[in-house]
Each structure stands twice: as C-alpha cells, then as structure tokens.
Structure 1
Amino acid sequence: MFQHYIMVAFRNLVRSRSFSLINISGLAFGLACSLLIFLWARDEQSVDRFHTNNKLLYRVYLRQVYDGQAHADYHTPAPLPAELKKMIPEIEYATGFVKFFRLSLQDDIYESFSVDDKVYKLKGSRAEEDFFSMFSYKLLYGTPQTALSRPESLCMSRKMAELFFGSVEAAVGKTVRFDGRTDVTVTAVFENLPPQASDQFDYLMNWDAWVAENPFKQSWGHFGTLSFIQLRPDADPVKVEEKIKDFLKTYLKGMSDNLRLELGLQPFGDQYLYGDFENGLPAGGRILYVNLFMGVGIFILLIACINFMNLATARSVKRAKEVGVRKVVGSSRLHLIYQFIGEAMLLTLMAVLLSLALAALSLPAFNDLTAKQMAIPLREPLFYLFMLGLVLLTGFIAGSYPALFLSSLQPVKVLKGHFRFSFSAAAFRKGLVVFQFVLSMLLLISTLVVTRQTNYLQYKNLGYDRENVLYIPIEGNLITKYALFREEASKIPGIKMVDRSSQFPHAMSFRVDAVQWPGRDPNKVINFAVSSVGYDFVKLMNLDIVNGRDVDRYNRTDSVGFLVNEEAVRQMGVKDPIGMEISVFGKQGRIVGVLKDYHTNTLHQAIDPVVLDVKEFLNFGTVLVRTEKGKLKEALAGLEKVYKQMNPGHAFNFTFMDEQYGKLYKSEQVASKLSYVFTLLAIVISCLGLLGLSMFAAEQWKKEIGIRKILGATLRHIMARFSGDFVRLVLLSIVIAVPPAWLAMNQWLQNFAYRIDLAWWIFVLAGIIALVVSLLTVSTQAVKAALENPVKNLRSE
C-alpha cells in the first residue's frame, strides 16, 4: 500500500510539472528564509549563555530613583565587586570589568603593546582575580587562580600571542611593553573568544594596578565600571537581590534626600538581549528584533504553506474522479487522508532538501549582512530532529485541508461529472489568499517604516557637522605633547582644524549631577553631559551659538569659562545665564555662551543638558581633526608621520566620526536590511502562489474566454474579467493589513525620542506595490489565455 501511495504521488508530480515546480520552489524558498531567520535568532539567543556556570552568573545594575522616576544602567563603583563578595555570603565569586575608561561609555578600549619593533593596538580590559574562575574562557596556559593575581599580570589571547611571539608556547612568561611606559608579564594565554561572547577582548590586565593608577576610581561616588557576581549553587537570587538593594547606603554619604540608589541583579545570559531599561528595570533591547524576525520567519513559512494548500485545493478538480474511483472500489476516507497528507509530506521533504541547499548557498551573504559567523549545524542531532519536525509539521499544515476536502467528496456526484467547488471551499481558498497577502502587506509596510526611520537616524541634522571629522585617541606621549601635536598637525596640507574633547561629541554618555549654580534646588537631581574641550571645539564642530559668544584662547578669563546648551538653561531654570558663575567638579567659572541644542547621543534619547569647559590638558580624551573635503589621503599621510615622530611607542590609529555614529544604530541597520530582504522574498513567494492559482483559473475559464472572444470581447475586457477576482482579494488584504501595521509600527517608533511620522503615503505606497506586483503576476496568465485560439478551447463542445 505504501509503495502504491509513493508511485501515485510521483506520477502526479510528473503529470503536473508546473504546479509541482511552483509548489516545491515556493515551499523551499519559504523554508530557506525561515531557516536563516531561525539560525540568526538561535545565534542571538546563544550570546553569553555558553559559560558552564551560566545559571549562577549575574550582572549588577544600578537604579537611580528621583522625582518619582527611575533610571538604570550597568555602571557601578569600582570597589563594589570585592565588597559584595566580602559582605554577602551567598556570593562565591565577584569581579569588576572595565569596558570604557578613556572616552565615553560607548567606547571600547584599544591600547598599544610592543615587543621589540612590533607595535600593535589591541582591544582589551581590566578584571579582578575571580574572572577566569567565573567565566568559561579556555586557558591554554596558566590557572584561573593566578592568571590575574599580580600587578604586572597580562593575560593575552591566542591571537595576541601569535602576533608578538609566533605561538602560545613562546609567549609564556615573556615581557611586553604596555603603553610605551610599563613592562607587563604574560601570566596566562586564553583561547580566542567565541563569537557568542558579547564582550570581545584580546587581553586582560590586573584590576588593582589599574585602580591604583587612577585614584578617583577608588571612590564609591564614581560610577564607571561593570560588576559581575557568581552565586553559590544553593543561593536564592531573589533573596540576594533584596539583600544588595540598599547596599550603597553605607558607602555613599551626603546624597540628596530626593535621590535613591539601588542595586539590582540581571542574569548574565540576559544582558545581550535585554540591555535596555524601562522604569529602572531591564525591559528589552535586541530581543525586540529577535522576536520581530521570529515572527517574520513564521509569517513566511505560513505564506509558503498557504501557497501549497491553495494550489493543492485548486488542483483537486483534476483528482476528483480519482477519489471517486478509489471510494467506489473500497478505499476509506482515512486511507485517502493518509495518501494526500503523505503526498504533502513528500513534497515538503523535497522542498526541505532544496531549502537546505538554498540556505547553504546564501549563508555567506547572510553572514556578511548580519556580521555573524553562522553555519548550518549539520553535526548536531537536534538539528535533524528539528528538520524532521519541520517536515512533519509543514507537511501536515500544508496538506491537511486538501486531504480533508478531497476525502469528503461524494463518488456518485464526482463520477457523473457534477463536481464543483462549494461556496465554502471557494471562500476558504479566497480567505487563504487574503490572509497570505495580509501577511505580505504587514511585512512590506514594516519594511518601509523601518527603512525610513533608519535613514532618518543616519541623515538627520544633529546640530553639528560630522562629515570629514576623525578621532585620534590621546595616549602615550600625546598626553604631554598634545599642544605641539595640534600645532604641527594644523600645518599639514588637507587639514582644516584640530582640537580635543574628553568625550566623543556624538556619544557623550557620561552624565553627572555635578553642576552647581546660585539658587539651585539642592533636592533636584539633574544629570548633565559634561565634557572638557579645546578653544576651537565649537568652530570645528560647526555648532551654533544662540546667546553670548564662543570661548577665546586669547582671553585669559575664558580658561575658566563654560559653554552650555539651551536644554541646560531650561533645566537650570535661569532666564539670562550669560556671566552667571557656576561650578563643575569644583571648577569655578562663568558661562560665556549658550549653544543651540545638538544631539550628544542616539536619537533613542532626548537631548541632554550639556556643559562644556575649556581644558586642553588632560591625560585622556580624543583629538578631533577636521579634514578638507577631497584631501583625506594626504591629510592621513601627514598625520601618521607627525604621530609616529611624537608617539613612537604607539600604533597610529584613527576612526571616522560618521562611522562611529553609524555604529550607534547597528541593530536598526541590520533590522532594515533583513526586513528588506525577507519582505522581498515573502512577496515573491506570495506571487508564486498567485501565479499557480492564475494558471489554474486560466485552465478552468478557457472555454468561457473562448466564447467571450467569439462574441467580440477585446483583450482588455478579458483581462479585466480574468484579473478582477484577484485584484479584489488583494485590495481586501490591503484594507485588513493597514490598521494592525499602523499599530505595530507606531509602537515600535515609540522606542525613539526622535522619529518619523507615520505618513498616509507609506500605506498607499505599500498598497500600490502589492497591487502592481499581483497584477503583473496574474496578467501574464490573462494575456496568455486571451491570446489562445478559441476554436482550440471549444473543440470538445
């Protein structure tokens, strides 16, 4: 019996080649798209969850509650991890980790190391002794207990060891020059970090030595490091979180009564997907896009299954007599259901095999698009179980209705030739077409909105000019020779202006309530974005001054002058700030100018109150260089030459401001590209189904079309009659899709403080695209049917 079913299934595949090809290719495209999306979502969900003690690892976050509002982030005091381990018995291990300390809180650390004439700038951090006991980073040399135990300890990756010494073995115990000023010793070598680690680094150095070099880091009032803990296996994380909630009260004195600082715990494996906060609690982040594209994957799979169901149901007229004969000779309805679902499974299996080939071929391009290193997990048994489940589930969903419908046919009516679709069967098929195009419309509208918002983020006027500006970190000899470097760099052909800043102007994430002025309410907490800049900062960034003037290097009093933005004036509640004396971190001075508001962070956030003070001599920060348009190559060559002369122990390194700004919206850019690709494929799959249905309709209506042609119908009339039903279905899907699409996109846009408007033309454009594509798909069959010789179609009459 099974062999018979297989034979009949293959015979039907060969007999209906066009329908079979459309069915298999549509399902294969849908499965390939869904497989890529699920691989991406699986990779996203695996980030930071590979550690052996993952269930015991937690990240500490800080919640600030004031004026009835709660804000939170991950930045904690440097002494916190050691003190938590000391005071809370349930904590087995604790470590600090510093990710940003040179510039803004969005800047990874890149520092220079040298061995003989080899000089490299690598990405790394500082961590405490417990680090390797907590996290499952494989040590190729050294022990977790001793890797970071000494002030001169340097733990390097395999990559770093091979760069400097050629091999891991040759690196052991060797001395490396750090920052051109200190010798450190290789005490451990670890395997290169897997791509699933959200914090990538090439080296780690001793925490205590770093804190000793930066005394202000020892203060409990300085929040700039990350804290991780590992609980004991029998510890209750809820009770531990309650214990540490008010932990900082003992160590922070003199805080405003209106400000409350609380500590919270987040599972370490959640930090990547749930990195955003709402009302002081972890609430979302990348998980939004993971859920979004998981939904897209399911949508595309549903669209492909609907294609299958529609085409199989439409073709049932061809197999009605077969069903009638089988029932007459004794076949039960259950056997017929088995046969048709089995055929659906066979088609699905062929589609799955084709989809695996398609996914494998497109995976390199998909990896480039998403900046990942994914592979189809062919060596994992669970993958085959997943694919088997996918075959069974998809085959069952796709073949269920045709099987139930065909098996219910009455043999007497079928064999007499009275078979025709009932109203309910036709309505169901039309409903599937509408549902299919509703999903496609939702994806299309979402893509248009996401793309427009992403473009808006990229090209919005931020209040400053970020083109032709590059950053050079202030380190090594540049700390003491900055003035000379600025002077020499300014003479280089192609360079317009040189200045400095303690933070990246596009990402001033360091905010502090450290600004005082006469009449300030002591109970009101205002976090200012504070940065130290040079005298030419305003001119270099092309900022607008709306009141007062710019600072002047030839005016002695301006060395203690301040610039503020309009938002700062509003927050301070003063009418005329020019000449008003303020204090920032204890530095006294007067406000000399008010800047027009400009964006100092992502457009997810409102504009911060900004205070700029003139301080050209700091041991950290970045050099800002504005180059002349079209002269970048000669400017960079000159800069590198001057830099190497003044800072020979460091590799010349620079980044472009517009590139750094673009990185702030990496998630949105990936979402936009993925939306575009998968929406296009969803429309293609939908149109494949529409093509199959129009082919079936053309075959069913060929006699009617022949009669109409004989009676004088023109090509235009026949096309209108043929396409009308399909157009009405597409129009109905557009009407149904618009309200939920508007609600979903409006909700998504609420994540941005600055966003586009949901203009009516976006929905109209999406509707026109869907209508035109569907018309083009159907019209090919309409024209073909209309041009056929009517005599040929009516010959049997």
Structure 2
Amino acid sequence: MWKNYLKTSFRNLLRHKGYTLINILGLTSGIAVSIFILLWILDEVSYDRFFANGDRIYSVMVNAKMPDESISTHPVPPARMKEVLVAEIPEIEAAARYSFETELLVKNEVEGFQETGIYADSAFFEVFSFPFSKGNLGDLNSIVISEELASKLFPKENPIGKSVNLNQKQDLTVAGVFENAPANSTLQFDFVVPFEQYLAENPWMQNWRAGGSRTAVLLRENSQIPNQKIAGLIQNNCSECENVPFLFPYQKLRLHGEFENGMNVGGRIQQVYLFGAVALLILLMACINFINLATARSGTRGREVGVRKSFGAGRSELIIQFILESVLLSWFALIFAVLLVQLLLPIFNQVTEKSVSLNLANPVFLLGILSITLLTGVLSGSYPALVLSGFNPIKVLNGESRSMLSGSGVRKVLVVVQFATSAILVVGSIAVYQQITYISERNLGFDKENILVVDQNEGIVKNYAGIKNDLLQLAGVNNIAFGGNSIFSVPITTSDPIWPGKPEQSSINFKIYRCDEAFIPTLNIPLSAGRNFTGTQDASNYIINKKAAEAMGLDPEQVIGTELEMWHGKGQIVGLTEDFHNDNLRSDIEPMIFMFSENLGSHYFIKVSGQNPMAATVDQIGTVFKKHNPDYPFEYSFLEEVFDQEYRSEQVIGKLALAFTIVAILISGLGLFGLASFTAERRTKEIGIRKVLGASAGSLSLLLCGDFAILVCTSLAIGFPLAWYFVEQFLSGFTYHAEIRWTLFGLTALLMFGLTFASVGYHTLKAAWTNPVNSLQNEG
C-alpha cells in the first residue's frame, strides 16, 4: 500500500513540474533558514555546558544602589568576600576568585608572545573543570599554561619545570598544562597566575567597598541556593556599604545575564527567541505557499479525487496520499537545503563571528532538522488534504468541482498573513540598518577618525619618552596621547569627589578618566572654559564636563578655579569640556572628571594625518615601536573599529535580519507567482471574452492585479502597526536613536506592491496577449 502511495506521489509531482519546482524552492529556502538558525541557537545554548558540575556553579553578583535610587547589577563582588563565603555558608563547597582577562607578555628564553590570561585562586580549577593534560597547580611563583601556549613556548620540550617571564616583571615556573578552553566557553585564557599576585599589585582590592575581580562558587550537591544567607555578608563586614550580593547560575550568565533595577530581564536569550520566531515565520510562509497552490489546484485534482473515490478509496487513504506528497516534497527540499547551507556556511560564520559546522552526526541537530522537515510537510499538506479528500465524487465527475469548497477565502487570509509577515520583516530590517547608520554617523563630541589605539605594556611604559619623540618625527603622525580604558564606555565610576557645597548624603556617581595633557587635543574634545592639562604640575588638578558641573550645582561660567578633592588630593578645576558621549548610546551622557596621569591607564592614542598612505604610516609607527619595544609584538586597532565593536550585536542582527527578509520576500514572491499562474489560467475564458469586447492588455492586467493589490493593502494595514510596535521596542533600548519616519513604511509599501505587480503582471499580460479564439476554444 505504501509503495503505491509513493509511486502515485512521484507521478503527481512529476506531472506538475512548475508547481513542484515552486514548492521545492520555497520549502528549500524556509528549511535552509531554519537550519542556519538552529545551528546558531545550538551554539548559543551550548556555552559553558561542558563543565562537570556546571549545574552547581554560581557567579557571585552584586546589586548596588545608585544615586537616583536605581539598582545596578554587576559580577564584581569584594575580593575579601571569598573567605567569608567559605567560612559562613555551609552550602558552598568551594569558592574561587579570578580576574578579568588581561593580555600580558609571556616569554621563554628567546621569544615572547602577547597572550590572554587570568589571575585565579587555587580553587579555580576545582570550580571550573578545565582538565590538566600535564602537571597541576603549583606555588605562588608558578604559572599554568594552555596546550596551545605550551606548543608556542616549548614546541619540542616538556614545559613542566621550565621558566617563563611574565610581562617583563617576574620569572615563573610552569607547574602544569591544561587543555585549551573550548570555543563555547565564555572564559577564554591561555595562562593562569596565582591570585595572590593580583592582590599584591592591587592592594586597594582589600577594601570591602572595592570590586575589581570575579568570584564563582561550587554548591554542594542537593543544596538550595543560599541567597538569603548571602544577602547581608557585605553589610555585616562594612557598615557603610549598601551593596547586596546574590548567586546567579553561571551557565545562564551569557544568555540571561542582563539586569534592570536589580531584576533579571534576560539578555542574549532575547536574540535566541527572536531568531527562533523568525525561523518559524519563514517556515510558515513556505507552508502557506504550499497550501495556497494546493487549494488553488483543487479543481484540477478534483477529478482525480472523484475517480479514486468511485473505485472505493476512503477519505483517510486520500488524506494519507496528499500528506505523503507534501512530506515527500519536504524531504527533497531538505536535501537541497542541506547542500545550500553547506555552501553558504562560511559566509554565515563570517557574519555571525562563529565557527559552527554542519554536523549531521550530532543527534540533537539531526533530530532538529528531521523534525523541522516532517513538521513542515505535515503542516503544509494537512489543510489541502482535508479539503481535497472531502470532495463529493458525483459533483466532481459532473464538472462541478469549481463550485465546491476550493479554499479561496482561506487562501486570501493566508496571503494576507504572508505579506503582513514580510512587511514586518522588511520594516524591521530597514529600521535596524537605519539605527546602525545613525550610530556610525552620530557626532560623538570628539574625533574618532584616523586614530590608532595601542594597548599599554611594560616595554612601552619604560621607553615611552623615546617612542613619543620618534613618532612625532614622522610626517604622518600628528600627535600621541595616553589615556585610560575605552572612551566609548568609561567603566570607572565613583561618588568620592568632594567640592564646596556637596551635600553630606550625596552619592552622585562620576565617571573617571585618567589621561595626559595630549589626550584632549588628540581627540579634539572642545573646551568651553579654562584650559587643558599642561603636565605633571596639574597632577592634582582636574578637568570636568558640563554634566559634572551641573551635577555639582556649579555655574559653568564660574566653575574654573573651584576646589575639588579626589584620589590625587585637593586641587582645582582648571578646565570645562563640552559634553560628549562617554558611554554606549543606549545610555545618556554621564558626569565625568579627567585626572592627569602619564601611566595609570591602558591605551595610547596616535593621531595620524590621513594625508599620507595609511599602510605606509602604520608600518613606520610599527618600526618605531619595535625599535624601542622589541619583546612585544606591535598590535593596534583603529578607534573607529573599537567604536564599531561596541555595537557588534546590533550589526549582526541587522545583517541576519536583512538576509532573512530577502528569503521571506523570495518565498512570498514564489507563492504569489504560482498563485497568479493558476488565477490567470482559471480566468482564461473571462479574459478572452473581455478581449473580444475590446479590452486592452493593460486594462486586463490591472483588472487581475487589482484583486491581489487589495490583499496587499490589507496585509500592510495589519503588518505596519505591528512593525511600528516592534521597531519602537527595539529603538527604546537606545537613549539616542534614529526616528521612525513615514519613509520607512513608504519604502516597504513600494517593495510589496512592486513584488505583487511583477509576479501577477507577468501572468496576466501573458494571458491577455493570448489569442482570444484559442482561449475560448480551450476553455471547457
């Protein structure tokens, strides 16, 4: 029986090649997009799932009360909290402190490499099960390295017991070699140094009010999360502290690590949900194509149903037959989709900055694509099967199939759904593109063009005077400056500044940025009053922005000369800058204080003229650095690239949204093309009569296009309000964003109508140009 079903299905698919081709193209596109999204989702949810006791690892988070009474959540508890956790919370089996990843020079006797590493407690490898391939943790003067770093430093030797120099400061003994961190680990490092050294270099971390490092704990088996016991640990040891710690599952940090006002609000998981929904929508659109084309052909297949029923075929057998045809089409589409995915996978990885692969041996992935294919086939074929199998054989054989239920009303609804979905995707992708363009073109209040950023290292610090002198001799270099962390998102904040009239209970937070006298002119930050730093004589003087003056309640016209006390001691405000963006554009401009420093920071900023060839100028700069700093590789980035990196997530979403929108439009166009073909064929006699009566080809084309134009108008009326809502939600995440203009919807409407007239117009003009005599003769 099943053999007969398959044979009949193959014959029907081959008999209607155009119909089969349209459906396979649509289903292939939908399944291919679903496979890409499934690969992306599987990669996202796999992060940090490889740890042996992953479900018992928790990150220590802190809720900090801000001046405006809001709560800021961050993963940097006091370093001293670790001992208290282990001593006072019995549910905790182990706790480990570890620093943020840092790049340092790791050198053997001959060669050095700039590598990423961390400082961590001895319990780090107990909490996080990164396995050792050789040796183990050592004493305070030891280091453990990854297999990859071991192969660089000691390619032909056993690294255990060998000596390496770290950052030109100290010699350490290699005590162990651990396996490379998997690609799906949020922690990426190539060496680990004892945390005690980090504390020695940063004694301020011993203060209960200070953060600076992370802490993770391993709970005992079957233990409850002891957040109530942990909540008061900071305040119990620091009476003036208001921060409240809590535990959060480590495995959820990547996807669910976003907090607002102390409450978990998701994070990257929203992207997972978004792309999952897009996959379902595009699959649904491909299914709609199949349903529309199948019901449109109901008159053509009506006689087949009548004959088979007259020979005793039951309705259930016909339903199985039609669903089997749909499933068979889906399997063919799956084969082409897998080939298409394999072909486009390198481009996909480049856009998403991932390294996913099409692993058909992965049972989860294989089950996923098989389920998608089977679901698509059954969903596509169910409604047409129910419609066609319900035909009355007597009426069908008497030629009354067209007067029976053919699903025209349902088809109209499905076309509206399909085009409304396409309109939402088009509006959304254009809106994301406009926001990315807005970000890249917005005036930040300083120059970011033609500026090289070089990370600080010990070699540059020791030889900075010679490096700066030689660089300024180059024709392509205008200036070189020293500064702190990223100027686009200044991380250091404090409520410590003291100024005349400061309220006793004031807890206003100021961003702090350390820099030398060359920084402000190098980035061309406008001064509205006062002067720039002039050198070390300004070591205890300060420059503030207008937001800071406003926060202090100072008159901008009289702020110069006002006393200000900070970490460098008592000094004066010597300069006032215009406000410029010192945080992500999702946030407002914050009050900011510049402190003079020649080495407390992390970056050097080199302004190049742009008049000379950039590649040649960069080569000359690299030569200067190698001359004075030969042990370190010359590594740099452009400030514009650093800025773009702040918005990589939005850029990836924009590119993927554009790609998915193109696929959605392709599927809609294919469905409309096929549906227009059957509509024109069904109205052949009407077209012939109208042409005999004098109707022109153009008027006939407009007549048939009008029916579809009404459907498009309806879909836009439904899709545009939904699209506006989704775009509004996306843009509301940015304090500074592009405006939603009517042109966004106008462009989408033009695209939808253009697609409609192109698809329908071809068939209507073809029918209109056909000799009416032939049309009237062939129409039975």
Do the structures match in fold with TM over 0.5?
yes
Pick closer, same or farther for the CA change 1:389–1:648 going to 2, 3 Å. closer
Report the Cα distance in structure 1 between the residues aligned to 2:223 and 2:391, rounded to whole angstroms. Answer: 64
Task: Give the aligned residue type for 1:638.
Answer: Q
1:591-627 CA-partner distances (Å, limit 9, x unpaired): 1221111111211111111000222243x42211111
Bigger shift: 648-657 or 260-269? 648-657
Which one of 229, 253, 277 corresponds to residue 217 of structure 2? Answer: 229
Report the Cα distance in structure 1 between the residues aligned to 2:757 and 2:496, rounded to whole angstroms. Answer: 64
* Offset, 1:295: 0.8
1:465-510 CA-partner distances (Å, limit 9, x unpaired): 1111112222213324433432332222211011111223223112
Partner of 2:551: 571
* Offset, 1:314: 1.0
Partner of 1:316: 298
Identity %: 35
Which one of 231, 234, 237 corresponds to residue 248 of structure 1? Answer: 234
Which one of 110, 117, 122 corresponds to residue 124 of structure 1? Answer: 117
**What secondary structure is seen at the aligned counterpart in 1 of 2:402?**
coil
Bigger shift: 787-796 or 606-615? 787-796
Residues 580-591 of structure 1 aligned to structure 2 (within 5 Å):
580-591=562-573
Runs of 5+ unmatched residues, structure 2: none
Partner of 1:220: 208
* Offset, 1:199: 2.3
* Offset, 1:218: 2.5
For the pair 1:156 / 2:145, whether they are aligned, the reply is yes
TM-score in terms of structure 2 length: 0.96
Which one of 589, 592, 606 corresponds to residue 607 of structure 1? Answer: 589
Report the Cα distance in structure 2 between the residues aligned to 1:423 and 1:601, rounded to whole angstroms. Answer: 61
For the pair 1:790 / 2:772, whether they are aligned, the reply is yes
Report the Cα distance in structure 2 between the residues aligned to 1:425 and 1:116, rounded to whole angstroms. Answer: 80
Partner of 1:177: 165
Task: Give the aligned residue type for 1:173.
Answer: G
Report the Cα distance in structure 1 between the residues aligned to 2:690 and 2:640, rounded to whole angstroms. Answer: 63
Residues 764-775 of structure 1 aligned to structure 2 (within 5 Å):
764-775=746-757
Residues 15-26 of structure 1 aligned to structure 2 (within 5 Å):
15-26=15-26
**What secondary structure is seen at the aligned counterpart in 1 of 2:401?**
coil
Which one of 443, 460, 464 corresponds to residue 461 of structure 1? Answer: 443
Partner of 2:58: 58
> Residue 82 of structure 1 contacts residue 95 of structure 1 at CA under 8 Å; is this kept in 2?
no
Bigger shift: 676-685 or 190-199? 190-199
For the pair 1:779 / 2:761, whether they are aligned, the reply is yes
Report the Cα distance in structure 2 between the residues aligned to 1:405 and 1:641, rounded to whole angstroms. Answer: 76
> Residue 506 of structure 1 contacts residue 601 of structure 1 at CA under 8 Å; is this kept in 2?
yes
**What secondary structure is seen at the aligned counterpart in 1 of 2:256?**
coil
Report the Cα distance in structure 1 between the residues aligned to 2:219 and 2:538, rounded to whole angstroms. Answer: 52
Partner of 2:423: 441
Which one of 689, 697, 704 corresponds to residue 715 of structure 1? Answer: 697
For the pair 1:89 / 2:90, whether they are aligned, the reply is yes
> Residue 113 of structure 1 contacts residue 650 of structure 1 at CA under 8 Å; is this kept in 2?
no
Which one of 686, 707, 710 corresponds to residue 668 of structure 2? Answer: 686
* Offset, 1:254: 3.8
Task: Give the aligned residue type for 1:251.
Answer: N
Residues 401-440 of structure 1 aligned to structure 2 (within 5 Å):
401-420=383-402, 425-440=407-422
Partner of 1:79: 80
> Residue 112 of structure 1 contacts residue 651 of structure 1 at CA under 8 Å; is this kept in 2?
no
* Offset, 1:739: 0.9
Report the Cα distance in structure 2 between the residues aligned to 1:681 and 1:328, rounded to whole angstroms. Answer: 43
Bigger shift: 692-701 or 486-495? 486-495
Pick closer, same or farther for the CA change 1:771–1:165 going to 2, 3 Å. same
* Offset, 1:194: 1.4
* Offset, 1:658: 1.1
Report the Cα distance in structure 2 between the residues aligned to 1:796 and 1:179, rounded to whole angstroms. Answer: 87
Partner of 2:174: 186
> Residue 299 of structure 2 contacts residue 406 of structure 2 at CA under 8 Å; is this kept in 1?
no
Report the Cα distance in structure 1 between the residues aligned to 2:6 and 2:617, rounded to whole angstroms. Answer: 72
For the pair 1:33 / 2:33, whether they are aligned, the reply is yes
Report the Cα distance in structure 2 between the residues aligned to 1:280 and 1:323, rounded to whole angstroms. Answer: 63
Task: Give the aligned residue type for 2:17.
Answer: R
For the pair 1:6 / 2:9, whether they are aligned, the reply is no
Report the Cα distance in structure 1 between the residues aligned to 2:172 and 2:752, rounded to whole angstroms. Answer: 64
Pick closer, same or farther for the CA change 1:223–1:421 going to 2, 3 Å. farther
RMSD: 1.8
Partner of 1:203: 191
> Residue 137 of structure 1 contacts residue 190 of structure 1 at CA under 8 Å; is this kept in 2?
yes
Task: Give the aligned residue type for 2:51.
Answer: H
Partner of 1:558: 538
> Residue 476 of structure 1 contacts residue 649 of structure 1 at CA under 8 Å; is this kept in 2?
no
Task: Give the aligned residue type for 1:129.
Answer: S
**What secondary structure is seen at the aligned counterpart in 1 of 2:187?**
coil
**What secondary structure is seen at the aligned counterpart in 2 of 1:224?**
coil
Runs of 5+ unmatched residues, structure 1: 100-107
* Offset, 1:423: 7.1
1:489-543 CA-partner distances (Å, limit 9, x unpaired): 2222211011111223223112122211111112121121101111122111111
**What secondary structure is seen at the aligned counterpart in 1 of 2:630?**
coil
For the pair 1:629 / 2:584, whether they are aligned, the reply is no
Partner of 1:104: none
1:607-650 CA-partner distances (Å, limit 9, x unpaired): 111000222243x4221111110433343333333323333332
Residues 275-294 of structure 1 aligned to structure 2 (within 5 Å):
275-294=257-276
* Offset, 1:79: 2.4
Report the Cα distance in structure 2 between the residues aligned to 1:301 and 1:327, rounded to whole angstroms. Answer: 33
* Offset, 1:663: 1.0
Residues 605-754 of structure 1 aligned to structure 2 (within 5 Å):
605-618=587-600, 620-631=601-612, 632-754=614-736
Bigger shift: 781-790 or 304-313? 781-790
Report the Cα distance in structure 1 between the residues aligned to 2:394 and 2:581, rounded to whole angstroms. Answer: 76
- Runs ≥4 residues deviating over 4 A: 421-424
* Offset, 1:274: 2.0
Task: Give the aligned residue type for 1:295.
Answer: A
> Residue 24 of structure 1 contacts residue 351 of structure 1 at CA under 8 Å; is this kept in 2?
yes
Partner of 2:460: 478
> Residue 76 of structure 1 contacts residue 223 of structure 1 at CA under 8 Å; is this kept in 2?
yes
* Offset, 1:186: 1.4
> Residue 296 of structure 2 contacts residue 406 of structure 2 at CA under 8 Å; is this kept in 1?
no
* Offset, 1:424: 7.8
> Residue 370 of structure 1 contacts residue 670 of structure 1 at CA under 8 Å; is this kept in 2?
yes
Report the Cα distance in structure 2 between the residues aligned to 1:217 and 1:481, rounded to whole angstroms. Answer: 29
Task: Give the aligned residue type for 1:360.
Answer: Q
* Offset, 1:447: 0.5
1:157-183 CA-partner distances (Å, limit 9, x unpaired): 22211112225x632221111112311
Report the Cα distance in structure 1 between the residues aligned to 2:705 and 2:277, rounded to whole angstroms. Answer: 31
> Residue 445 of structure 1 contacts residue 741 of structure 1 at CA under 8 Å; is this kept in 2?
yes
Report the Cα distance in structure 2 between the residues aligned to 1:127 and 1:288, rounded to whole angstroms. Answer: 32
> Residue 516 of structure 2 contacts residue 533 of structure 2 at CA under 8 Å; is this kept in 1?
no
Task: Give the aligned residue type for 1:628.
Answer: S
Task: Give the aligned residue type for 1:134.
Answer: V
Task: Give the aligned residue type for 1:159.
Answer: E
Say how many residue pairs are matched: 775
* Offset, 1:557: 5.5
Report the Cα distance in structure 2 between the residues aligned to 1:422 and 1:586, rounded to whole angstroms. Answer: 88
**What secondary structure is seen at the aligned counterpart in 2 of 1:752?**
coil
Report the Cα distance in structure 1 between the residues aligned to 2:363 and 2:79, rounded to whole angstroms. Answer: 45
* Offset, 1:117: 2.9
* Offset, 1:422: 5.1
* Offset, 1:48: 1.6
> Residue 493 of structure 1 contacts residue 634 of structure 1 at CA under 8 Å; is this kept in 2?
no
Residues 261-410 of structure 1 aligned to structure 2 (within 5 Å):
261-410=243-392
> Residue 485 of structure 1 contacts residue 646 of structure 1 at CA under 8 Å; is this kept in 2?
yes
**What secondary structure is seen at the aligned counterpart in 1 of 2:686?**
helix
Pick closer, same or farther for the CA change 1:218–1:482 going to 2, 3 Å. farther
1:25-66 CA-partner distances (Å, limit 9, x unpaired): 111110110111121012111112221211101111111124
* Offset, 1:241: 1.1
